[in-house]
């Protein structure tokens, strides 16, 4: 295996480069199965992180992983399974998507001050699998979204007692 | 013409430490390294903004499953080929050293990552980003935005035409300057290969002083972020040329299954 190219922080100035119109809307709000997936990103002092970038990647309602392009210029009909949202000035993010026919949505987190990307999973309420079951009980619920009036709520805590479980994969 | 912004702090980071103090912290961490490392330290206090933004609990080992075994697909409906030329986005020519940056995106087994999205963003030749939070007193260039995209070719090749960025000051500590760099955002063939990084230029005198570059504590690893000047990429009377390959973590197992 060739040694990998190291990652680096996304830095403070991605805001004019990476976010794009339609990035957070995997489906239109008018879609019959549309659900809001939203939350806040918090640092180790509990302060909101206003310069984070989140990307989600997920299966469709039937559990099928999309294999089609069009995420950057959405046509309003094709479900591509991928979206990107930056946090606002109080650390909030919001996607419009559908609940996958699978236990979880994959999530990547970038931020100024975060030296490398972090991977995690957003499990649907009530979902379970071997990975989730194997986590210590006091940390498991950091990966499970809560259902609220708007849809699904999932906060990302970068550091501290309520720190989100972040993942590493073989080869990392 | 863009209106001149007020000259206020570009960052909320406290700039209490001197460069000598930061350099001493960098040297202390480097001296304590005992094994080969491939990635930046998440916990790297010389970059002050990382102090409250790094996980303190061990990352949880996971076997990629389901959606994680695939990467999002991007196609020609997503990216116009003209987006790879950052020098033609406005009516006039940008100021600065025109250059081509090219290379290949490969997986850990050396196989090309084809038809995949590469995004770049960067400061202009004066070291200024077209971003509201970059307000240091260097000129904006009305002919340069500093954002590009392309899709890799069948052999994993990407290619951008752009302007060599300048170094720029930031507020991490007193008299802090970033080495000139391009930000790269890259996808692999698997979700787990997603990465964002920075490409640097050979021989930059700011390397030793920069806590972001030095957060990759192993010198062999951080040197992989430095492009190579390549005279075969240089075009007569037009632009200089740099070559830089990007190797993603791990091999693409879906490729293995179908091969």
Closest CA to B2 of B138, B97, B120: B138
Chain A / chain B CB contacts < 8 angstroms: 247
Residue with tokens 């209490």: B16
Model confidence at A78, in pLDDT bands (50, 70, 90)? very high
> pLDDT at residue B2 above 60?
no
The candidate with the shortest Cα–Cα distance to A5, out of B209, B188, B31, is B188
Residues A117/A46, Cβ–Cβ less than 8 Å: no
Q: Confidence class of residue B133 from pLDDT cuts 50, 70 and 90?
A: confident
Q: How confident is the model at residue A150 (pLDDT cuts 50, 70, 90)?
A: confident
**B129 close contact with A: CB closer than 8 A:** yes
CA–CA separation, A5 and A101 (whole Å):
34
Segment among A1-5, B116-120, B190-194 with least mean pLDDT? A1-5
CA–CA gap between residue B227 and residue B103 (Å, rounded):
9
Q: Phi/psi of residue B253, each to 5°?
A: -75, -25
Interface test with A, best of B42, B67, B115 (most A CBs within 10 A): B67
Nearest 10 degrees: Cα torsion A74, B198, B122, A12: 80
**Does residue A48 have a pLDDT over 90?**
yes
Distance of alpha carbon A154 from alpha carbon B250, whole angstroms: 29
Identify whether the C-beta of residue A39 lies closer than 8 Å to the C-beta of residue A85: no
Q: For residue B176, what pLDDT band results from cuts at 50, 70 and 90?
A: very high
| pLDDT band at B135; cut points 50, 70, 90 | confident
Cα A53 versus chain centre, distance: 9
Nearest CA in chain B to A64: B67
Average pLDDT over residues B205-228: 98
Q: From A132, which residue of chain B is nearest by alpha-carbon distance? A: B62
For residues B171, A108, A38, A111, the Cα torsion angle rounded to the nearest 10 degrees is: 0
pLDDT at B7: 39
Name the average pLDDT for chain A.
97
pLDDT at residue B10, as a whole number = 41
Lookup: tokens for A150:
């708007």
Mean pLDDT for the stretch of residues B135-142? 91
Which residues have a Cβ under 8 Å from the Cβ of B31 and sit 6 or more positions away? none
Q: Are B163 and B124 in contact (CB under 8 A)?
A: yes
Residue B3: which pLDDT band, with cuts at 50, 70 and 90? very low
Q: What is the pLDDT of residues B99-109, one digit of tens each?
A: 999 999 999 99
Please tell me the distance from the alpha carbon of residue A18 to that of residue B152, in angstroms, as a whole number: 18
**Chain B, window 191-220: residues with a beta carbon less than 8 angstroms from a chain A beta carbon:** 191-192, 194-198, 212, 215-216, 220
User: Residue B133 is nearest to which of A2, A13, A68, comparing CB atoms?
Assistant: A13
Cross-strand pairs, B61:
A168
Instruction: List the structure tokens of B168.
Output: 């720029």
**Closest chain A C-alpha to B236 CA, distance in angstroms:** 30
Residue range B123-130: average pLDDT? 95
pTM of the predicted model as reported, rounded to 2 decimal places: 0.94
pLDDT, averaged across chain B: 92
Q: What is the pLDDT of residues A89-136, one digit of tens each?
A: 999 999 999 999 999 999 999 999 999 999 999 999 999 999 999 999
Statement: residue B8 has pLDDT above 60: no
Name residues whose C-beta falls within 8 Å of residue B258's C-beta, 6 or more positions apart in sequence: none
Cβ-based burial of B85 (10 A; exposed 0-12, middle 13-18, buried ≥19): middle
Chain B contact present for A106, CB below 8 A: yes
Q: Which one of B41, B149, B181, B222 is the catalytic residue?
A: B181
In the prediction, which pLDDT does B253 show?
56
Q: Is the pLDDT of residue B9 over 60?
A: no
Residue of B247, B249, B73, B244 lying closest to B160 (CA atoms): B244
**Average pLDDT for B130-159:** 93
For residue B221, give the chain A residue with the closest CA.
A6
């Amino acid at each position: 295996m060739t040694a990998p190219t190291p990652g680096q922080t996304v830095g403070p100035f991605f805001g004019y480069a990476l976010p794009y119109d339609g990035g957070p809307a995997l489906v239109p709000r008018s879609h019959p199965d549309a659900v809001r997936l939203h939350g806040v990103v918090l640092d180790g002092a509990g302060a909101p992180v206003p310069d984070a970038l989140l990307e989600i990647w997920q299966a469709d309602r039937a559990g099928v992983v999309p294999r089609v392009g069009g995420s950057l210029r959405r046509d309003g009909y094709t479900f591509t399974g991928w979206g990107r949202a930056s946090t606002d000035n109080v650390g909030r993010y919001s996607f419009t998507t559908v609940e996958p026919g699978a236990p979880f949505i994959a999530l990547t987190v970038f931020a100024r001050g975060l030296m490398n990307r972090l991977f995690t999973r957003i499990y649907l309420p009530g979902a379970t699998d071997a990975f989730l079951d194997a986590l210590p009980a006091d940390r498991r619920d950091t990966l499970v979204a809560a259902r609220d009036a708007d849809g699904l709520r999932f906060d990302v805590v970068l550091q501290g007692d309520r720190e989100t479980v972040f993942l590493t994969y073989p080869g990392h | 013409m863009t209106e001149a912004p007020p000259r206020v702090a570009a960052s909320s980071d406290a700039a209490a430490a001197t460069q000598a103090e930061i350099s001493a912290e960098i040297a202390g961490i480097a001296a304590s390294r005992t094994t080969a490392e491939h990635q930046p330290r998440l916990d790297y206090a010389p970059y002050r903004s990382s102090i409250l933004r790094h996980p303190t609990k061990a990352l949880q080992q996971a076997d990629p499953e389901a959606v994680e075994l695939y990467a999002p697909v991007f196609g020609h409906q997503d990216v116009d080929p003209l987006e790879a030329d950052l020098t033609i986005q406005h009516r006039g020519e940008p100021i600065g050293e025109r250059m081509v940056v090219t290379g290949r995106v490969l997986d850990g087994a050396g196989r090309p990552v084809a038809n995949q999205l590469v995004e770049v963003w960067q400061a202009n030749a004066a070291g200024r980003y077209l971003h509201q939070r970059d307000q240091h007193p260097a000129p904006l260039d009305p002919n340069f935005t500093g954002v590009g995209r392309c899709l890799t070719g069948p052999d994993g090749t990407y290619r951008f035409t752009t302007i060599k960025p300048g170094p720029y000051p930031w507020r991490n500590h007193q008299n802090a300057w970033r080495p000139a760099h391009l930000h790269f955002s890259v996808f692999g063939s698997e979700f787990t290969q997603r990465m964002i990084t920075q490409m640097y230029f050979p021989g930059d005198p700011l390397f030793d002083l920069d806590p972001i570059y030095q957060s990759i504590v192993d010198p062999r690893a951080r040197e992989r972020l430095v492009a190579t000047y390549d005279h075969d990429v240089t075009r007569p009377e037009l632009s200089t040329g740099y070559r830089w390959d990007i190797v993603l973590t791990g091999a693409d197992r879906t490729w293995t299954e179908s091969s």
